[in-house]
Homo-oligomer: A and B are copies of this chain.
Amino acid sequence: MQITNDLEKLAKLVRYYSILSSTEAGSGHPTSSLSAADLMTCLFFGGFFRYDLEDPAHPNNDRLVFSKGHASPLYYALWAAAGSITDEELKTFRKFGSRLEGHPTKAFEHVEAATGSLGQGLSIGVGIAMNAKYLDKLPYRTFVLLGDSEMAEGSQWEAIQIASHYKLDNLVGIMDVNRLGQRGETMYGHDTDAYKKRVSSFDWEAIVIDGHSLKDILSAFEAALQVKGRPCMIIAKTLKGKGVSFIEDQDGWHGKALKKEDFQRAVEEWGGIDAKVRGQLLKPDDMRPERMRPEEVEAPAYIKDELTATRKAYGNALKRIYPAYPDIVVLDAEVSNSTYSEIFKKEYPERFFEMFIAEQNMAGAAVGLSNRGKIPFVSTFAAFFSRAYDQIRMSRYSDANIKFCGSHAGVSIGEDGASQMGLEDIAMFRAILNSVVFYPSDAVSTEKLVEQAAKHRGIVYIRMTRQAVPVIYSKDEEFIIGGCKVLTVSENDVITVVGAGITLHEALQAYEELKKEGIFIRVVDLYCIKPIDAKTLHDAVVNTRAVITVEDHFEEGGLGEAVKSVFAEKPVPVYSLSVKKMPKSGKPGELLDYEEISKGALISKIRDLT
């Protein structure tokens, strides 16, 4: 297909729309939009970007991620110039209920991923490009618009290094070097060679251009699409506010909309606008990936009381269930022999991606893979997800379908000490809107919950333990999202104890010990901390005097507070045992005792209360 777009007219239109929407909103980032207007106009309408406007989900569409999400006026202007947004709708920009949010979100159908927290788009692009090259095996390309300020984020360099490691020659970065950050000049100003030196040192092709010369830009894209065996970065020297003479390249104009009179003045400078012109996009070839048909898989096979770490069961589960969920891919941050994702890797190496010790990029790439219909299981130590919390938070706004699986939770890891202990991971993941938080206590429940995670669309966290623990469930036990298990019940129960994971075993031991003395407790396995099974919990506490929660996690935001929330409105006394002292090295048992979350601490608390 040949397309004949008038790029100069379209660039003008895109500028016009960029200031129209933001002036109407009274806020937004027109100047950061204007600097990249020529770049993006050429990409869209210069015969490079292949995208079916009628079918945003087409698997062979090229993909564009606006990593500099604050340039949303430009982003929407492009789609308006392509005919997907009317002038009227553009004027709803940033207004309550509009699809055109302040920073791009999934409310607008063409958005690949929510951006606006800087330095995340390239990782997302990496995931999308990895999918094209290694999974779907399609020729679509991924373009990422980057700001120069955001190149200071380390996550960019994680993405840069992994993109060349995986030889992503279907990934093109476009760096809009407009010199000015929010509060003044960036670290390198207009020194495009500084960027070139750095980016090419990581084995990227790097092309420096004048970002306002349409000729330069077109040649750069042509060259970029020829690069083989490695990704390409177009580094464009631009002016912030380009095209509006009185704000061009001026400090103090970041994130400021033009006033209505300035908007008029700009349009007059341009000698008016042809707001009827529309640009045509190339269509992608109608290629689709081969898809495996899901197959039935067997139930997990464990023997009761046998010792297995839940992290090991996680690896086993991935391997077991993959045929039933052939969209699964597994990512790990260089600890696959600790998280046991290596079990999956050995069986399905082509579905496993080593992401090295770069958790931010791993989470971002997972957003990209999810965008392309995959189900990423992303594993590392629970503690190290704290490294990617911004990406995790944003993944929710990208409506992503990701399973974060954290091993080595809690002080029960023992000798390695505080740095390796996940003690705030439940708090982190509970605070993600509509997330699911699982904390299985044995191999069977882990396997079943990994399967539930694969089945459920959304953000799921699975918390896993380092130590081997006995299997307590039979292989036919069912586990649902939003459930819990009441494990011991008698008419004489005095206290309800709610635990999960490692502490559930402490609770069960306390049960056995107290039973000998004729003291009975009701033990609940809260394997699903969010959404929480309020009904079962309410029923469970009937006839017991109080609830004691016990968890290998800091008090705040953890299992205990989740349970307290259940009982907050219809009060039942809830006591919580949790990690409250400076964690340190020692044997697992010593540390559970020291933090007062062991069997012994439970027994002593129960004695206090009865």
Q: Give A contacts to B, CB under 8 Å.
A: 25, 27-28, 69, 94-98, 101-103, 105, 107, 114-119, 149-150, 152-158, 161, 165, 181-183, 186-187, 197-198, 200-202, 334-338, 342, 356-358, 360-361, 383-384, 386-387, 389-390, 392-394, 397, 415-420, 423-424, 427-428, 430-433, 530, 554-558, 560-562, 564-565, 567-576, 580, 582-587, 590-591, 594
Cα separation A530 to B555 with both chains bound (whole Å): 12
Residue of B nearest to A157 (CB): B157
Cross-chain contact A357 with B119 (CB below 8 angstroms): yes
What is the copy number of this chain in the assembly?
2
Given known contacts A94-B415, A182-B334, A415-B94, A424 and B432 CB-to-CB distance under 8 angstroms: yes
Cross-chain contact A573 with B569 (CB below 8 angstroms): yes
Cross-chain contact A393 with B357 (CB below 8 angstroms): no
From B28, B360, B575, contact of A154 by CB (8 A)? B360
Q: Name the distance in Å between A548's Cβ and chain B's nearest Cβ.
A: 11
Cα separation A154 to B156 with both chains bound (whole Å): 7
Residue of B nearest to A574 (CB): B568
CB contacts (< 8 Å) of A423 on chain B: these are: 431
Given known contacts A96-B587, A383-B117, A431-B557, A154 and B152 CB-to-CB distance under 8 angstroms: no
CB contacts (< 8 Å) of A116 on chain B: these are: 416-420
CB contacts (< 8 Å) of A119 on chain B: these are: 357
CB contacts (< 8 Å) of A107 on chain B: these are: 584
10 contacting pairs across A/B (C-beta < 8 A):
A102-B415, A105-B417, A116-B416, A149-B334, A152-B158, A152-B356, A153-B158, A389-B390, A428-B428, A557-B557
CB contacts (< 8 Å) of A556 on chain B: these are: 427, 430-431, 530, 557, 561-562
Cross-chain contact B186 with A356 (CB below 8 angstroms): yes
Cross-chain contact B390 with A114 (CB below 8 angstroms): no
Cα separation A97 to B102 with both chains bound (whole Å): 52
Residue of B nearest to A584 (CB): B101
CB contacts (< 8 Å) of A361 on chain B: these are: 154
Cα separation A186 to B354 with both chains bound (whole Å): 10
Cross-chain contact B554 with A415 (CB below 8 angstroms): no
Residue of B nearest to A154 (CB): B154
CB contacts (< 8 Å) of A98 on chain B: these are: 585
From B181, B384, B569, contact of A117 by CB (8 A)? B384
From B152, B386, B574, B584, contact of A358 by CB (8 A)? B152
Cα separation A545 to B226 with both chains bound (whole Å): 72
Cα separation A386 to B428 with both chains bound (whole Å): 9
Cα separation A560 to B498 with both chains bound (whole Å): 21
Cα separation A568 to B571 with both chains bound (whole Å): 8
Cα separation A555 to B568 with both chains bound (whole Å): 13
Cross-chain contact A335 with B183 (CB below 8 angstroms): yes
